[in-house]
Amino acid sequence: MTSEILHDPIASRLGYLLRRASSAMMADLGRALGEIALRPVEGTILILIGANPDCTQSDLGRMLGIGRTNMVPLISALSKRGYLDKSPVDGRSFALTLTKSGEEARRQVDKIMDAHEERFARLIVGQDVAGLRTALALIAAQPEDVPPS
């Protein structure tokens, strides 16, 4: 069978192309951020806290489409690593800020993400990148991007 030509009626589906493209970019980002021992999600969280000091982990979850529940181990890990400061604002929530080393890590993440985006931007030169962004944003804005709770 390996010698025969396999045809792939799925390759023309938009959803499948999206999934594979997303997976390829995520894999690349994962590899790149691996150099500073961070996962894409963790890098993203550092960026977001840098841009929104004193936000809560629920705020982050809403921005990222990640449920409260699943934010716990993420924030906990970054905190244990000395990247985050938590200061109580409420009786229940904490204002998150970057520590000195957290800010340093954030800078590295930013640089790595820039290079990563550049790598892929080069792949699609000549394409309508603005149109691509618009289309992706339209698709992403579909329901169910809302986290469970």
Partner DNA sequence: TTCTTATTGTTATGAGTCATAACAATGTTG
Partner DNA sequence: CAACATTGTTATGACTCATAACAATAAGAA
Interacting residue ranges for DNA, rule: CB under 7 A: 2, 23, 27, 39-41, 56-58, 65-72, 75-76, 90-94, 147-149
Q: Which does 13 bind (CB under 5 to 8 A by kind): DNA, a copy of itself, none?
A: a copy of itself
Cβ contacts of 108 within 8 Å, gap of 6 or more? 36
Among DNA, a copy of itself, none, partner that 94 touches (CB below 5 to 8 angstroms by kind): DNA
Cα(105)–Cα(10) distance, rounded to whole angstroms? 40
Out of 101, 107, 133, 148, point to the residue binding a copy of itself (CB under 8 A): 133
Distance CA 129, CA 96 (A): 34
Q: Could you tell me the smallest distance in angstroms from the CB atom of residue 80 to DNA?
A: 12
Nearer to a copy of itself, 18 or 72 (CB): 18
The answer to the question of residue 137 lying near a copy of itself (CB under 8 A) is yes
- Residue 106's binding partner among a copy of itself, DNA, none (Cβ under 5 to 8 angstroms by kind) is none
Quick check: 70 binds a copy of itself (CB under 8 A)?
no
* By CB under 8 A, residue 37 contacts a copy of itself: no
Q: Across-strand partners of 79? A: none
Span from 73-81, 97-105, 140-148 in contact with a copy of itself (CB under 8 A): 140-148
How far apart are the C-alpha atoms of 20 and 37, rounded to whole Å?
24
Task: Report, in angstroms and rounded to the nearest whole number, the Rg of the chain calculated over CA atoms.
Answer: 19
Pairwise CA distance, residues 53 & 86, whole Å: 11
- How would you class 83 by CB atoms within 10 Å of its CB: exposed for 0-12, middle for 13-18, buried for 19 or more? buried
**Total residues interacting with a copy of itself, rule: CB under 8 A:** 63
